[in-house]
Structure 1
Amino acid sequence: MNEKLPILNVHMLGDFSVMYGNQPISFGKNTTTKAMKLLQILLYHGEQGISREKLLNALYVREELADASNNLRVTVHRLKKIIVDAGLPADEYIHIKKGIYSWQAPMRVEVDVKRFVSLYKESKECTDKERKEELLTQVCQMYHGEFLPALSGEEWVLLESIQYKKIYSESLKELCESLMTKGEYEEVLALCESACRMYPFDEWQSVRIECFIRLKRFKEALKEYEDTAKLFFEELGITPSDRLLKQFDEMSNQMNHTNPREINEIKERLKEDSDRGGAYYCSLPSFRDSYRLVSRMLERNGQSAYLMLCSITDGKGHPMEKPEKLAVMAEELQNSIQHSLRRGDSFTKYSSSQYLILLTGTNKENCEMIFDRLRKYFSREHKSWGKNLEYFVSSIADVENPDSPIQFQKDKNVW
């Protein structure tokens, strides 16, 4: 090894890239060719190497080749040329001995994954709290995302990726707990911001909310909660976890003693956009609360209100099974409801193909007219779409009745 040569830095967490000293090395835009897969495997296994059998399995397991070994020889030859053409010093690089393929470079090679694991192991053995925090911080800062994401479909990559994510999650959790005991909330906020970006459904938002609450920055805590609740429902169709709901209650309790001077600011936050017309769209949790409130009001004033369930079908009464078409139609249905109903009506998305509408101060006959108006607007540009829409309606008083056409299962998280 020539110590005078620059170091070859290889990054595999979050993306695959190679730096030779200060110079980025490009092996071409396509990182999923057989030659590029081979390069990444060899760099990952380094001088210890990988057996021919495992290499063939990693490269050709999904292909029926008459002579996979010959294909491997051709790929090795092609890769050697690619390496030199990319700007690295001329050398053999790929060493083959007794069926073991290894990476042998003239310069020192540093792979981020290896350093990542080494720091993690050192942190587990470290007994000095300050040094342990430093090591955990380095581990978290080194993790930029999934291991070799372009090859995430490969079984060996997936298995390794799971282990590295586990290391990151454990390290971040331990580091956040340590920092929060010292009141270093700003540092925790920054660390968890990256985690939320990479893994939005792992609920690192709850740690950020906790930090905002302890800093008494309740508006930021509330916004974090609202953004998270919206993300969970729109992407997964579920409401926030018990942990997030408890944090929301805690925020509400701590905001009870609001400074009177902040009342005008609160009123501005509560106000709806003045230019918003038509029916009011809200998240499912908000719609559920509106439904319950209207139910109570009807008990007192005797007025009527109806719940309408609009569903997109395949035109024959069956669920739409074409996801791309369904997404377009669902967006148009939301737009149609928004424009076809009154400002006093509210609605929400109940599933990927269904919307719930709360109609107040109307009767059952008018509900049919409302749906006809809605269907006409929905199919104004695509006449055939009219047959893809169907509805059920039930008075709020009858929704809990077993004979009602609209039923909500009690064990569903969404309702």
Structure 2
Amino acid sequence: MENDNNRLYIQMLGEFSIRRGDRTLNGESSRSKKVMNLIEFLVANRNVTVSQEKLVESVWDGEEFDNPLNTLKNMAYRARNVLKSLWADDEQSVDLIKYEGNTYVWNNAVECVVDTEEMELLSEEVEHGQIERSDKIEKLNKIFNLYKGEFLPKSSFYEWVIHLNAYYHSLYTKNTKLLLKMLREDGRFGDIVTVCEKYNCFYAYDEDVHVMLLEAYAKTSRLQKVTEHYQHIEELFFEEFGVGLSEETVKFYRELTKSVHNVEYDIRNIQTDLIEAVLGRGAFFCDYDIFKNIYRLQSRMLQRNGASVYFALFTISDIGGGMPDKEVIKRSIMLLKNIMVDSLRMSDVVSKYSTLQLVALLPYTSYENGQKVCARIEERFRSKNKNFKIKLVSRLQAIEPVEI
């Protein structure tokens, strides 16, 4: 790369940096955040002319002060000096910020390779170019690998950054899903695993991508990963949104697990698999669909054996009975779940019913013992909960036998 010193490599995704040869400028190189934000803005808008007034409004984010144009002039001077660190002391530096057309602009006479511009160009070629299928997949892979994270994450609170971040996120997601679609058509499920796992590091709540990953695990015979990943996303969505996965995803998982099990004639092997699935101390925690099936089974059994089974409901709220904020809910529900699983017997069943509620099945117990269990859980929650504005209320009711 003989002319590498004549070219700047600029990264905007995941972090901001400018590299020239073996010299790199990043957020650690300047003590002034405003100086770096001016440089970031000029690079991001290097192909358009922005007035001084718009520059001030964007870089200072609406902040008002005396003589803004003079402040901008001083900031541009400081930014030029910071950028000179890309040249050694014995080299002739180039001013990367010019005053032109009554405003400050990036010096486009210097060749720049900018990751966001490459991403846009490749995306345009994929969408509108007349290219072979293999070339399209290659370009989609390049787009995928260019993306290193959010656009200018250390400046994410600026309004102009927020808009561009949404744009590049959308561009990345659109092209990633097209790449996954084409890989699936070609039966390249190993590559799908790689793409999905990396994508999930950036955006963990895209259910469509999780479904593709589940299928790819199954197609590459990673059956344990299918179960583990499904349980992971199930808990992830509950904790973040207070809801379960969509009916389509649940149904897809059930069909997937049915289709991947081989015929097994040795009953001991099946029994070993079942034992391994239930290993663990404390109550059994499951999703609400499974909980409903266990509830219905218990109701049917009551008609035959006459045993007593109690249903307990635990509800979290603030002192006034209202809904706490999102972060408080997440911490409180996780605390309650851990307390319930640890406090109850292995024969008891626990599930999340709603954003603020957990439910439990308590078989082979009396009403008095059930009340004691609920009181013990409430007491443990109060002792471990650090937020005194949160309260826990429990309700207990016997399950009625179903007439068969």
Give the alignment's TM-score, normalised by structure 1: 0.83
Cα distance, 1:179–1:255 mapped onto 2, change above 3 Å: closer
Q: How many residues align?
A: 394
Residues 1:267 and 2:267 aligned together: no
Structure 2 residue identity aligned to 1:242 = E
TM-aligned CA deviation for residue 310 of structure 1 = 2.1
Aligned to 1:239: 244
- TM superposition shift of 1:123: 1.7
* 2:286 paired with 1:291: no
Correspondence for 1:359: 362
Matched with 2:161 is 157
Higher mean alpha-carbon deviation, 201-210 vs 226-235, is at 226-235
Cα distance in 2 for partners of 1:317, 1:4 equals 65
User: For residue 176 of structure 1, what is the aligned residue in structure 2?
Assistant: 180
Of residues 103, 120, 123, the one that matches 1:120 is 123
Deviation at 1:154, TM superposition (A): 2.1
Distance 1:237 1:375, change over 3 A: closer
> Following superposition of structure 1 onto structure 2, how do residues 260-409 of structure 1 map, counting pairs within 5 Å?
260=265, 262-263=269-270, 266-273=273-280, 276=281, 278-314=282-318, 316-319=319-322, 321=324, 329-351=332-354, 353-380=356-383, 388-397=391-400
> Does the CA contact (< 8 Å) of 1:378 and 1:386 recur in 2?
no
What's 1:5 paired with? 5
For residues 167-206 of structure 1, the aligned pairs below 5 Å read 167-203=171-207, 204-206=209-211
Distance between the aligned counterparts of 2:258 and 2:373, measured in 1?
Answer: 41
Stretch deviating more after TM superposition (75-84 or 134-143): 75-84
Look up the match of 1:78: 78
Contact preservation (8 Å) 1:92, 1:105: no
Task: Verify the 8 A CA contact 2:215 2:256 in the aligned structure 1.
Answer: no
Closer/same/farther in 2, CA of residues 199 and 385 from structure 1, 3 Å limit: closer
Q: Measure how far apart 1:132 and its partner are.
A: 1.5
The residue that corresponds to 2:94 in the other structure is 91
Counterpart of 2:162, as a letter, is L
Asked if structure 1 preserves the Cα contact closer than 8 Å seen for 2:243 and 2:354, the reply is no
Match of 2:15 in 1: 15
Which residue type is aligned with residue 274 of structure 2? Answer: K
Q: Which moved more, 1:191-200 or 1:371-380?
A: 371-380
Q: Residues 384 and 270 of structure 1: is their aligned pair in 2 closer, same or farther, counting only changes over 3 Å?
A: closer
Task: Verify the 8 A CA contact 1:282 1:346 in the aligned structure 2.
Answer: yes
Aligned residues of 2:17 and 2:27 also touching (Cα < 8 A): no
Structure 1: which 5+ runs fail to align? 399-415
SS state of the match for residue 191, structure 1? helix
Quickly say closer, same or farther: Cα 1:90–1:47, change in 2 above 3 A. farther
1:76 positional shift: 1.3
1:196-237 CA-to-partner distances (Å, cap 9, x unmatched) read: 211111121211222233344433333332222222222222
| Distance apart, 1:359 and its partner CA | 1.7
In 2: Cα distance, 1:250 partner to 1:382 partner: 40
* Cα separation, 1, equivalents of 2:353 and 2:345: 20
Deviation at 1:191, TM superposition (A): 1.4
Structure 2 distance, partners of 1:56, 1:387, is: 45
Looking at structure 1, the residues matched to 384 and 257 of structure 2 have their Cα atoms a distance apart, in angstroms, of 46
Query: Measured at CA, do residues 351 and 31 of structure 1 come closer, stay the same or move farther in structure 2, by a change above 3 Å?
Result: farther
1:209 and 2:214 matched? yes
Q: 1:337 to 1:219 in 2, by over 3 A?
A: closer
CA displacement, residues 142-194 of structure 1 (integer Å, 9 cap, x when unaligned) = 11222112222222222222222222222222222222222222112211211
Contact 1:10 1:112 in 2 (8 A): yes
Between 207-216 and 116-125, report the one with greater CA deviation: 207-216
In structure 2, relative to structure 1, the CA distance for the partners of 1:223 and 1:332 (3 Å cut) is closer
Give the whole-Å Cα distance in 2 for the aligned partners of 1:184 and 1:323.
Answer: 39
Flag structure 2 segments of 5+ consecutive residues without an equivalent: none
Conservation of the 8 A alpha-carbon contact between 1:5 and 1:107 = no
**Higher mean C-alpha displacement, 20-29 vs 56-65:** 20-29
Q: Say what the alpha-carbon RMSD is for the aligned residues.
A: 3.2
- Alpha carbons 1:283, 1:348 under 8 Å: kept: yes
Could you say what secondary structure the match of 1:239 adopts? coil
Q: Percent identity?
A: 27
Residues 32 and 150 in structure 1, CA contact (< 8 A), matched pair in contact too: no
- Deviation larger for 223-232 or 319-328: 319-328
Post-superposition offset of 1:353? 4.2
Q: 1:213 to 1:326 in 2, by over 3 A?
A: closer
* Deviations 1:280-301, CA, capped at 9 Å, x for gaps: 3334444333323323333443
8 A contact 1:218–1:251 mirrored in 2: no
Cα deviation 1:231-263 (Å, max 9, x = unaligned): 222222221223322321222331454334653
Residue 53 (structure 1) aligns with: 53
Q: 1:305 to 1:268 in 2, by over 3 A?
A: closer
